[in-house]
Structure 1
Amino acid sequence: MLSLARTSRATAAASAKAQAAKAVAYRTAYTAATTYGSSRRQRQQKPESETETKYRPQQRRISAKEAGLQQQQQQQTSAARYWPKLEIPREAKRFTFIDETSKRGPTKVAWTDRFLFVEDPATENGRRALKPATLRDSCACPRCRDTSSGQKTYSSVEIPVDIGLQNVKPTKKGLEITFLRDIPRFVEDESKPHVMLLPWDSVDMSLKRKGMEDVTLPRQRSVLRRTGVVYWDRETIAQQVRRIDYAEFMKDDSEAFWDVIIDICRFGLVYLKNVPRDEDSIVRITTRIANIRETFYGRTFDVRAKPNAENVAYTSGFLGLHQDLLYLDPPPMIQVLHCMDNSCAGGESLFSDGERVGRLLWPFLTRHRMSPLAEHHVPYQYGKNGFHYFSSRRVIDGNDSGFTNVFWSPPFQGRYLSPVKDIRRWIEPAQIFSSLINDRDAIHEQKMEPGECVLFDNLRVLHGRNAFDAAGGGARWLRGAYIAAEDFLSRAAHIPKGLAEKYRGERPWAPALAQKALRETAWHEDVVRRIKEIDPALED
């Protein structure tokens, strides 16, 4: 009887469970059907314009900002981890260094075998704990760095993980440091102890007395901080562009040479005059600055009309404003063009400050109507004579720090590999960009004469050419070459101190200051007016 009762209860429970499961299944199916029907009806009720593929305004940029905040938090965590404000142990050895010959304030120094503590008494939270392993890997003594090449004579992985500090001593140049448990081969000869010098500049960097902006590096922002930047239109550049004598430019240690470098940094444009009519002059001019960036066009190239031209530049027709070789990654930074002949009618060279326009538009790219300039990838492609290059770029590019580049080269655009994109929302903002760079007041026009050479920043200044009459007599012939960004900036980083700042003014250049200054110009008002034509809700 007991067994039968248990069996009956089990059967009843199973039946109830099955019915409950079935009820859940029915409810789920009904909910899904209702949701599907409702969403289907909603889609059917939406206007056709809302069902089309749309840009998501600033989705990429919002993601980039979120990633930037996340990265900033990680960096702060990293800084806290590598530069902890540890309490200095009682047993630590200490001294305070005061250099009365410099403006540097007092520096408190203490050390144990595990940490080197440096502190600026004039600031709160101004203590930094430096680690022996990192200090050891920063040694630049003749035993650690080859005196001729400047390269390391050891590998970082040779440093013992338990390396410590043995002694720290102040000198005029920095802190002299000896280590406990140093790299074994550096301590084999006890008669030649290994001593590292930590320069005071490095101490100042650790204490935030100096920042990266105070260090001269072959980076564009570092160079421009020293030289300054002038954004220009037709009137501005006509008043300030310089024509520097070729012979002076070619002299060793001449100020004229550095003036050319400075003007490329400041204006993105400079001329040489009195250049010999020699096919090798282009090589001498370019290599005076840096190595030539060779491309599939060769080490140098000739710009003149010819039949079956492999490049629209090698025709006699009008060539709109553009940047060269945007299908290469990266494109060359500096272009050098030496005029050999220009005796036919027409053929005036055209230049426009693309970065000026890019920075003027940058604050408005968070708006839906303008955002495609910073989101839509424009394809660039070259595929002829056995060469094939492809890259895609936004018209205006930037990162968490702000504006970085403009990329505009309509004659050299490629086709969309997959033509599913809807470019209609990109066209109107791109028309605004085009109208700004092609405005009559924005273009510097110059009929180059034989013996003239123009050097310009291909990543900033857009260039073009008016049509010329090749059949009506005369000729137009330019010789050209390129320089890569890293090679030019390597040279520009060596502009003599004082000379770089000569034309800049007292205040170092910074992107934020540049944006603020541009906002206070009549150019900004013109940009607002043009954007309002497609976005009437824009506030001034």
Structure 2
Amino acid sequence: MLSLARTSQARAAATANAQARAVACRGVGTQAPWKHQRGESQKHRQRQPHRDSAIETEETRYKPQSRKIQAKEAAALGGPQHQTATSASRYWPKLDTPKHAKRFTYHDLDGPKENGPVKIAWTDKFLFVEDPATENGRRTLKPATLRDSCACPKCRDVSSGQKTFSSVEIPVDVGLEHVKPTKKGLEITFLNDIPRFVEDGKDKHVMLLPWESVDLSLKRKGMEDVRLPRKRSVLRRTGVVYWDREIIAQQVRRIDYAEFMKEDSEAFWDVIIDICRFGLVYLKNVPRDEESVVRITTRIANIRETFYGRTFDVRAKPNAENVAYTSGYLGLHQDLLYLDPPPMIQVLHCMDNSCAGGESLFSDGERVGRLLWPFITRHRMAPLAEHHVPYQYGKHGYHYFSSRYVLDGNASGFSSVYWSPPFQGRYLSPVKDIRQWLEPARIFASLINDKDAIHEHKMEAGDCVLFDNLRVLHGRNAFDVDGGQGARWLRGAYIAAEDFLSRAAHIPKGLAEKYRGEEAWTPGLAQNRLKRSVWYEDVVRRVRELDPGVEA
């Protein structure tokens, strides 16, 4: 009994403390969401009608998630993102450079013209780097982080590139003993280094901090400028072309299979670059054998195996487990959105297409997504970025499920588009009202399915198409095998995003920028160009039909 009493007292105390903390947090610039705007107590506020009530008022109408939409609105307008008072800060306060710190200035005259001199100062506890040309351009680097980042032969295995020590071996009181500028970067020696690095060698352990890392710290460079297997980093180098039927018809390339397969061939990199730029490229003169799709795919990266197998065949068959394996019309969609993550690259090799119909259809889904993104802050368009659409597959002992927004993004802006009506699952709990989502979804569907948006091409035996499944929507017209006289047979395979981007990160310097032009691609640049495009006026017109208050 005594134990139970103490437990009850502890629970009561914990509840009281939690309530006090909640009140304190709400007092810091926020208002409890359940409080009426006039400050009424909860017990006196009026009960709101149920959302499904026959009487729908402005108060009961669907409203976007305010915090998320405010962030998206600021991103769409190019404004700063503000942390709330209760948010945890990720940044240390800036430290003044001590008077006793050792100092020097380094200027690489052979480096990029836009990079001026760098001021360096250091004590045993901190390394200060400063760009004199930038306001507030000083950064403080900590010895422990520097020590953990060392890439010398003692700290990284020469053959594998992997660490030879664990981060937890670094002493808490590690400090800086000496800092010296060189052509390649800052040479640093440490006080209280990892003991075994001091004991087991005659040569003193020296770390090199590359100037690239200094530039990143000073924000002279962004992470997109570094050759990383990240989509934004790759696209910054290659550029992106958003397209409609006319543009892709003029610019899509059909590259010879034999040239693509050659080692060290420019044709190979042209395929990679076109997938990045357009999301779509063709190969021609592909040998008609079942292993051709494997050779093409593995020339780029490893195959992303799925429950369909390492490769798959697209042809009509009875009792099809996938709507793609029928002869009917297949609307624009993306593959395997019920997997997490879905594959990025799809490879389809045409073995036979002698039937009537069966033309392949493609539409630039990302173009439409980016054109609509500025409007998701509007009440009527917000469901495109807030309503979870379920995708599901459950056949032959397999069961996959995922839910996705049509337009996905964050405070930094648009990131992804997801659209696959044939493979939508059912709402497991059908209490959700999808009416507010249907209207903006119809706008999205009308834009991707517009006749001027669709690239239509009837593939022939020996053709192979490679496309970005996370950007380009695909489908096909119905076909007629003419009583068995004709046939349509495609062999397919997938590549995962991380594997494709790993390869794309190695596009030779100069070749990646060959078609891009002088200006590096950024999401902001893409949004600005689309806003000035011939498509934007049409998008505004369609959105205004739903929301007349929209401004251009």
- TM-score after normalising by structure 1: 0.88
User: Which consecutive aligned stretches of 4+ in structure 1 deviate over 6 angstroms post-superposition?
Assistant: 35-38, 40-43, 72-76
Q: Which letter does structure 1 place at the counterpart of 2:170?
A: I
Residue 241 in structure 1 maps to residue 252 in structure 2 = yes
| 1:476-532 CA distance string (max 9 Å, x none) | 000000001111111111111111111111111111111111112221111122222
- How far residue 74 of structure 1 moved from its aligned partner, in angstroms, is 9.6
Looking at structure 1, the residues matched to 160 and 244 of structure 2 have their Cα atoms a distance apart, in angstroms, of 45
Select 1:434's aligned residue among 434, 445, 454. 445
- Percent identical: 78
Residue 216 in structure 1 maps to residue 227 in structure 2 = yes
Q: Which letter does structure 2 place at the counterpart of 1:100?
A: L
Looking at structure 1, the residues matched to 45 and 154 of structure 2 have their Cα atoms a distance apart, in angstroms, of 77
What residue in structure 1 maps to residue 97 of structure 2? 87
Q: Which letter does structure 1 place at the counterpart of 2:227?
A: T
What residue in structure 1 maps to residue 108 of structure 2? 99
What SS is found at the alignment partner of 1:50? coil
What SS is found at the alignment partner of 2:436? helix
| 1:19-68 CA distance string (max 9 Å, x none) | xxxxxxxxxxxxxxxx989947999xx97123996421343623656999
| Contact 1:86/1:129 (<8 A) preserved | no
Change (3 A) 1:162 1:42: closer
Change (3 A) 1:374 1:100: closer
Select 1:316's aligned residue among 317, 327, 337. 327
| Contact 1:373/1:429 (<8 A) preserved | yes
- How far residue 432 of structure 1 moved from its aligned partner, in angstroms, is 1.1
| 1:132-173 CA distance string (max 9 Å, x none) | 111111100011001111110001110001111112222211
Q: Which letter does structure 1 place at the counterpart of 2:452?
A: D
What residue in structure 2 maps to residue 480 of structure 1? 492
What residue in structure 1 maps to residue 243 of structure 2? 232
Name which of structure 1's ranges 237-246 and 370-379 shifts more when overlaid on structure 2: 370-379
Looking at structure 1, the residues matched to 286 and 246 of structure 2 have their Cα atoms a distance apart, in angstroms, of 26
| 1:76-110 CA distance string (max 9 Å, x none) | 954444xx3422332x3333333333344333323
Q: Which letter does structure 1 place at the counterpart of 2:128?
A: F
Q: Which letter does structure 2 place at the counterpart of 1:256?
A: A
What residue in structure 2 maps to residue 534 of structure 1? 546
| Contact 1:58/1:368 (<8 A) preserved | no
Select 1:159's aligned residue among 156, 170, 177. 170
- How far residue 373 of structure 1 moved from its aligned partner, in angstroms, is 1.1
What residue in structure 1 maps to residue 198 of structure 2? 187
- How far residue 218 of structure 1 moved from its aligned partner, in angstroms, is 1.0
Change (3 A) 1:478 1:190: closer
Q: Whose helix proportion is higher, 1 or 2?
A: 1
Change (3 A) 1:99 1:428: closer
Looking at structure 2, the residues matched to 86 and 36 of structure 1 have their Cα atoms a distance apart, in angstroms, of 53
Looking at structure 2, the residues matched to 88 and 52 of structure 1 have their Cα atoms a distance apart, in angstroms, of 58
| Contact 2:366/2:417 (<8 A) preserved | yes
| Contact 1:53/1:422 (<8 A) preserved | no
Looking at structure 2, the residues matched to 51 and 224 of structure 1 have their Cα atoms a distance apart, in angstroms, of 43
Change (3 A) 1:37 1:514: closer
What residue in structure 1 maps to residue 143 of structure 2? 132
Change (3 A) 1:173 1:72: farther
Looking at structure 2, the residues matched to 190 and 263 of structure 1 have their Cα atoms a distance apart, in angstroms, of 50
Q: Which letter does structure 1 place at the counterpart of 2:284?
A: K
| Contact 2:49/2:60 (<8 A) preserved | no
Q: How does 1:245-394 map to 2 (within 5 A)?
A: 245-394=256-405
What residue in structure 1 maps to residue 156 of structure 2? 145
Q: Which letter does structure 1 place at the counterpart of 2:419?
A: W
What SS is found at the alignment partner of 2:208? strand
What residue in structure 1 maps to residue 32 of structure 2? none
Name which of structure 1's ranges 288-297 and 127-136 shifts more when overlaid on structure 2: 127-136
| 1:335-376 CA distance string (max 9 Å, x none) | 000000000111000000111111111111111221111111
Looking at structure 1, the residues matched to 44 and 414 of structure 2 have their Cα atoms a distance apart, in angstroms, of 46
Name which of structure 1's ranges 384-393 and 366-375 shifts more when overlaid on structure 2: 366-375
What residue in structure 2 maps to residue 56 of structure 1? 63
Name which of structure 1's ranges 166-175 and 51-60 shifts more when overlaid on structure 2: 51-60
Cα RMSD (Å): 2.5
Q: Which letter does structure 1 place at the counterpart of 2:62?
A: Y
What SS is found at the alignment partner of 2:56? helix
Name which of structure 1's ranges 424-433 and 229-238 shifts more when overlaid on structure 2: 424-433
Looking at structure 1, the residues matched to 236 and 500 of structure 2 have their Cα atoms a distance apart, in angstroms, of 16
Looking at structure 2, the residues matched to 125 and 52 of structure 1 have their Cα atoms a distance apart, in angstroms, of 45
Looking at structure 2, the residues matched to 266 and 460 of structure 1 have their Cα atoms a distance apart, in angstroms, of 11
Looking at structure 1, the residues matched to 131 and 450 of structure 2 have their Cα atoms a distance apart, in angstroms, of 54
Change (3 A) 1:41 1:69: closer
Q: How does 1:55-74 map to 2 (within 5 A)?
A: 55-59=62-66, 61-62=68-69, 69=81
Q: How does 1:389-400 map to 2 (within 5 A)?
A: 389-400=400-411
Looking at structure 2, the residues matched to 41 and 53 of structure 1 have their Cα atoms a distance apart, in angstroms, of 7
What residue in structure 2 maps to residue 170 of structure 1? 181
Q: Which letter does structure 1 place at the counterpart of 2:184?
A: K
